[in-house]
Amino acid sequence: MRGAVSAHFSTLVRKFSRFTGKCLAIAPHLGFPVRGGADKCAEMTDRPTEIVKFDNVGLRYGTDPEVLSDLSFTLFPGSFYFLTGASGAGKTSLLKLLYLAQRPSRGSIRMFGKDMITSPRTRLPDFRRRLGVVFQNFRLVPHLSAFDNVALPLRLSGTDEAKVLKAVSDMLEWVGLSHRAQAIPETLSGGEQQRVAIARAVIARPQILIADEPTGNVDPDMALKLLRLFEALNNRVGTTVIVATHDVHLLKKVPDSLIMRLQKGRLSDPTGALRYPPQPSAAKASAKAPISKKGGV
Amino acid sequence: MTKPSLPDEQAPGAPPMKGSTSARLLPQTRFGGPIPWVIAILIALVIIAAAGGLALRNLADNARADLSDAVTVQIIEADPQSRTVQADAAARALGDHPLVTSVRVVPEAELTQLLEPWLGSGAASEDVPIPALIDVELTRTATASEIAQLQSALDGALERFGTSARVDAQSSWLKPVYEALAAMQYLALALIALVAFATAAAVWLAARSAFSNHSDTVEIIHLLGGTDAQVTKIFQRSVLRDAAFGAVVGLLLGLCAVWLLGRQFAALDSGMIGGGGLGLLDWVIIGAIPLGGVMLALITGRITIRFALRSML
């Protein structure tokens, strides 16, 4: 009897070692630095290999022609993407699909390993809380102060008010708006509103940060500073960043970034960001993503 | 400059926002809008209708308690002496009946007094024959067959006089009165139902209007991860505020109206109207109307907002 139990236990240990070995072997390809240990392996197996996966997605508004057609791509955790394209190419429509403001007319979208098409709308808030969005027209709540606007994602997720106070104060100081904390949006300049919108988007440490022309209304110094904040989130927290922009100069400011280009609702892939398996540049970018998301920026 | 600290990652599934926080998400207006006042008027109407309905119920109950367990026996005989003898014989016959608890032959003087307002001093003269009346109280409201039994018992007792008596069940002649009172109670109930419906409709319109006015804010809250429950709670606070204000004002208006009407009816000094006074339980019911109104407004507001949210992703 004791022999049978011992043999069974040995088999389990062998299977686990084989599994651990496989995890350690594939980890670098998934962009996770190998730190060793079964616990890390378990953590890695919990994480999706892709954070966003579009498959043959099309979008039309009403009976109009499709504004997005045949979009198939995969975004990897911890990568930094720029989405470029001329006005009317469909950048904002694609971002709307990404920040779950719109369902596609066809195709499938998986995010965080879950099918967003079949997920009931009651499940969407949980996914939305993992996103940070900088809207093109900021979309600040007009009667709330800058402080309350930035605090909104934290309050919606039930964060303790003391933590909200600290985090929002720090964030407003960082974007240079401490002195405007109690100002309502209509009294803020375009650039200030944009900084409030960015602060609101990043305050809850999103897994994916989606920004629609985030530096359009700020001076070059502030644009660079905000971009560094996105990079810091990307590097230290592992946030996947997607920035839609017209500004070609901005693309050069983040050297490891990947570029998705939209042309008339269709996607081209100049840096190989969207191919699977990821191209060397894409793998390099995704390798930045750490395992742990604990700790501040 | 140091980089900002960020709070820990939040677990999925949001606890509700604190009340003061959710209250700030919609701009608060003064009570200048029409809805609190519409609710106040509707609640006042419900209170008046309910007070009227309860008063009618009490009036009917009192009348029924006084009159429904009784019959009146009428003996028509021109000869006063024979009439008295017949009345006594009938009273004896009725007294032996198991359904009867008491029998009282109404004295002729009392009858004359009752008729005097209509017949004047002629009521006392022998020229106008007055029937003998016997008030009979029963153990309970008699059925038609039991009334027939009483009638046959009387017929047997008066057979030797060659006359007969007529039994009038008061419940039968009061039946149209009871039916009229019941109809008025149903009318009050229907009025309450209609006003409740109007209140719900007013709240529905107000909630829809508030929702469309603040749809941009709602969409932002949704896109930042706000749940339907959180958005609904924000609007419910607004509805609660308006409804509570309307309920208090409506209660005061309604109570003033009921008090004034009560005073007017009390001035009539009529025995029957006196039976329509409101008891403690009635006042408790009236006091519960504003609470019911607030609950109705909250439920309507909640359902309206939930349905409106379903149209959003």
- Flag whether residue B155 sits within 8 Å of chain A, measured between CB atoms: no
CA-nearest residue of chain A to B24?
A144
The pTM (predicted TM-score) of the whole model is 0.65
- Flag whether residue B203 sits within 8 Å of chain A, measured between CB atoms: no
Chain B hits for A102, Cβ within 8 Å: 313
Give the pLDDT of residue A271: 62
Give the pLDDT of residue B275: 65
Give the pLDDT of residue B123: 61
- Flag whether residue B19 sits within 8 Å of chain A, measured between CB atoms: no
Distance, CA of A135 to CA of A132 (rounded, Å): 10
Cα torsion for B24, B29, B35, B36, to the nearest 10°?
90
Range B23-37 average pLDDT:
67
Distance, CA of B60 to CA of A157 (rounded, Å): 59
Give the pLDDT of residue B120: 72
Mutate to test the interface with B, among A152, A159, A160, A239 (most CBs of B within 10 A): A152
Count CB atoms within 10 A of the CB of residue A81.
Answer: 27
Q: Does B98 have pLDDT greater than 50?
A: yes
**CB-CB under 8 Å, A205 with B9:** yes
- Flag whether residue B287 sits within 8 Å of chain A, measured between CB atoms: no
Range A254-262 average pLDDT:
83
Q: Does A15 have pLDDT greater than 60?
A: no
Range B189-205 average pLDDT:
88
Give the pLDDT of residue A8: 53
Contact B224, A150 (CB under 8 A): no
Range A266-290 average pLDDT:
55
Chain B hits for A125, Cβ within 8 Å: 14, 222, 225-227
Range B206-212 average pLDDT:
83
Chain B hits for A237, Cβ within 8 Å: 6
Distance, CA of B293 to CA of B299 (rounded, Å): 10
Give the residue, A147 or B177, on which the prediction is more confident.
Answer: A147
Distance, CA of B23 to CA of B297 (rounded, Å): 18
**Window from A5-9, A165-169, B28-32 with minimum mean pLDDT:** A5-9
Confidence of residue B122 (pLDDT cuts 50, 70, 90): low
Q: Does B288 have pLDDT greater than 70?
A: yes
Distance, CA of A81 to CA of A251 (rounded, Å): 9
**Window from A39-43, B144-148, B190-194, B307-311 with minimum mean pLDDT:** A39-43
- Average pLDDT across chain B, whole number: 80
Give the pLDDT of residue B171: 65
Contact A156, A203 (CB under 8 A): no
Q: Does B159 have pLDDT greater than 70?
A: yes
Give the pLDDT of residue A39: 36
Range B224-248 average pLDDT:
87
Q: What share of chain B is helix, strand, coil (3-state, %, to 5)?
A: 70, 10, 25
Confidence of residue A270 (pLDDT cuts 50, 70, 90): low
Range B4-24 average pLDDT:
53
Query: Which string of b and e fits B33-63 if b means at least 16 CB within 10 Å?
Result: eebbbbbbbbbbbbbbbbbbbbbbbbbbebb
Report ipTM for this prediction: 0.73
Highest mean pLDDT among A24-28, B173-177, B236-240: B236-240
**Window from A69-73, A239-243, B128-132 with minimum mean pLDDT:** B128-132
- Average pLDDT across chain A, whole number: 76
Q: Which amino acid makes up residue A218? A: V
**Window from A33-47, A121-135, B215-229, B288-302 with minimum mean pLDDT:** A33-47
Give the residue, A23 or A151, on which the prediction is more confident.
Answer: A151
Q: Does B21 have pLDDT greater than 80?
A: no
Give the pLDDT of residue B23: 54
Highest mean pLDDT among A215-229, A256-270, B129-143, B214-228: B214-228
Domains of chain A from N-terminus onward: 2-130+206-287 (3.40.50.300)
Give the pLDDT of residue A284: 47
Give the pLDDT of residue B6: 53
Range B73-101 average pLDDT:
85
Which residues are paired to B104 by β-bridges?
B135
**Window from A276-290, B150-164, B178-192 with minimum mean pLDDT:** A276-290
pLDDT digits (tens, 9 = 90+) for A35-67: 333 333 334 444 457 889 998 899 999 888 889
Range B200-208 average pLDDT:
85
What percentage of chain A has pLDDT greater than the value 70?
A: 74
Distance in Å, alpha carbon of B27 to nearest chain A alpha carbon:
6
Task: Indicate if the alpha-carbon torsion angle B77, B82, B85, B86 is positive or negative.
Answer: negative
What percentage of chain A has pLDDT greater than the value 90?
A: 23
Q: Does A203 have pLDDT greater than 50?
A: yes
pLDDT digits (tens, 9 = 90+) for A161-189: 889 999 999 989 988 899 999 999 999 98
A292 burial (CB, 10 Å; 0-12 / 13-18 / 19+) is exposed
